[in-house]
């Protein structure tokens, strides 16, 4: 039996990248997985992959910035899959703009999706997990939340906010039997990362390949990471093996950040 046999987990951003890998990993270890994503087609494809592997999943179109959407998706997930005790926030957006050119509307959108959306997920999932006897949650932050990012100040601020949110949630929810942690990925091989480097390359007057190579060269382990490597750490933080870990933000970045 897997570590999550008989449990129900919700994963946002489950249509691709880290969210998809997390959903596949949890399902492979026995969880019934609710897949939340603003892209119905992408989440459906993740559900199909889980079903083909013998697991169980349901997808729900969800705008994480809307409380009504989050509440509706979690209600439907519990009705379809059973009592919710595990949650992973893997949604997020990022754009690159030099600080002096960052549009206020982009700032608002990034903070709304990355930070407000994470708050809504953690709060509403925690209400259910606490009622169901406790559980565990993981928020995907970023090493960008650890320091300055002159071409994506909104993203860095949102991810720093996620770390702070996790600290507060962990303290507030400990007495309810709900653990809350974060992971801080570095350079992950996802479409979002490739899009970031296409934008950075245009800003810096180089090719996307050169931008990617420059970033990879800074990583002590000498390579970029896979979404599956992030998923493995998240699965550990959700599992009973991490029963004494809460309120932590774990860097999973090949040594890119050591603070």
Number of domains in the chain: 2
Whether residue 1 is contained in a domain is answered as: no
Same domain, 208 and 234: no
Q: What is the DSSP string of 228-248?
A: HHHHHHHHHHHSGGGTT--S-
Same domain, 120 and 202: no
Whether residue 102 is contained in a domain is answered as: yes
Tokens found for residue 30: 């026995």
Calculate mean pLDDT across residues 100-122: 98
**Domain harbouring 90, CATH code:** 3.40.50.720
Same domain, 132 and 245: yes
CA 220/CA 234 separation, integer angstroms = 22
Same domain, 32 and 142: yes
pLDDT given for residue 155 in this prediction = 96
Q: Is the pLDDT of residue 102 over 70?
A: yes
Same domain, 150 and 209: no
Q: What is the pTM of this model?
A: 0.95
Same domain, 34 and 52: yes
CA 65/CA 95 separation, integer angstroms = 18
Same domain, 87 and 209: no
Same domain, 116 and 150: yes
pLDDT given for residue 158 in this prediction = 98
Same domain, 173 and 201: no
**Which contiguous run of DSSP H or E holds residue 49?**
helix 40-52
Q: Is the pLDDT of residue 1 over 70?
A: no
Same domain, 123 and 64: yes
Q: What is the DSSP string of 61-80?
A: E--TT-HHHHHHHHHHHHHH
Catalytic residue among 93, 155, 197, 238: 155
Calculate mean pLDDT across residues 93-108: 95
Whether residue 142 is contained in a domain is answered as: yes
Is 155 marked active-site?
yes
pLDDT given for residue 204 in this prediction = 79
Instruction: Name the residue range of residue 205's domain.
Output: 188-224
Q: Are 155 and 55 in contact (CB under 8 A)?
A: no
Whether residue 238 is contained in a domain is answered as: yes
Q: pLDDT tens-digit profile of 114-159?
A: 999 999 999 999 999 999 999 999 999 999 999 999 999 999 999 9
By three-state DSSP, how is residue 202 classified? helix
- Residues 137/47/132/85 CA torsion (nearest 10 deg): -20
Same domain, 42 and 136: yes
Whether residue 90 is contained in a domain is answered as: yes
Whether residue 132 is contained in a domain is answered as: yes
pLDDT given for residue 207 in this prediction = 86
Calculate mean pLDDT across residues 5-10: 98
Q: pLDDT tens-digit profile of 15-65?
A: 999 999 999 999 999 999 999 999 999 999 999 999 999 999 999 999 999
Say what percent of the chain tops pLDDT 70. 100
Same domain, 210 and 232: no
Q: pLDDT tens-digit profile of 245-255?
A: 999 999 999 99
Whether residue 256 is contained in a domain is answered as: no
Q: pLDDT tens-digit profile of 183-237?
A: 999 999 887 777 777 877 787 788 877 877 888 888 999 888 999 999 999 999 9
Going by their DSSP bridges, the two strands 249-252 and 8-12 should be labelled as unpaired
Q: Is the pLDDT of residue 160 over 80?
A: yes
């Amino acid at each position: 039996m897997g570590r999550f046999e008989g449990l129900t987990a919700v994963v946002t951003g489950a249509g691709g990248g880290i969210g998809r890998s997390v959903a596949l990993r949890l399902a492979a270890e026995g969880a019934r997985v609710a897949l939340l994503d603003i892209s119905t087609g992408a989440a459906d494809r993740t559900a199909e992959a889980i079903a083909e592997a013998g697991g169980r999943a349901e997808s729900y179109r969800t705008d994480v910035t809307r409380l009504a959407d989050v509440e509706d998706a979690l209600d439907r997930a519990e009705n379809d899959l059973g009592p919710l005790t595990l949650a992973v926030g893997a949604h997020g957006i990022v754009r690159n703009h030099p600080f002096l050119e960052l549009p206020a509307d982009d700032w608002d959108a990034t903070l709304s999706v990355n930070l407000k959306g994470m708050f809504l997920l953690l709060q509403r999932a925690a209400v259910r997990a606490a009622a169901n006897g406790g559980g565990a949650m993981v928020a995907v932050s970023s090493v960008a939340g650890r320091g300055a990012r002159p071409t994506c100040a909104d993203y860095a601020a949102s991810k720093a906010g996620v770390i702070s949110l996790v600290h507060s949630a962990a303290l507030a929810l400990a007495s309810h039997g709900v653990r809350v942690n974060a992971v801080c990925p570095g350079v992950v091989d996802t479409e979002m990362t490739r899009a970031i480097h296409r934008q950075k390359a245009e800003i810096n007057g180089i090719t996307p390949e050169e931008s990617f190579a420059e970033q990879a060269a800074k990583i002590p382990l000498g390579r970029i990471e896979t979404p599956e490597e992030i998923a493995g750490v998240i699965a550990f933080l959700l599992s009973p093996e991490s029963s004494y870990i809460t309120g932590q933000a774990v860097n999973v970045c090949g040594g890119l950040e050591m603070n």
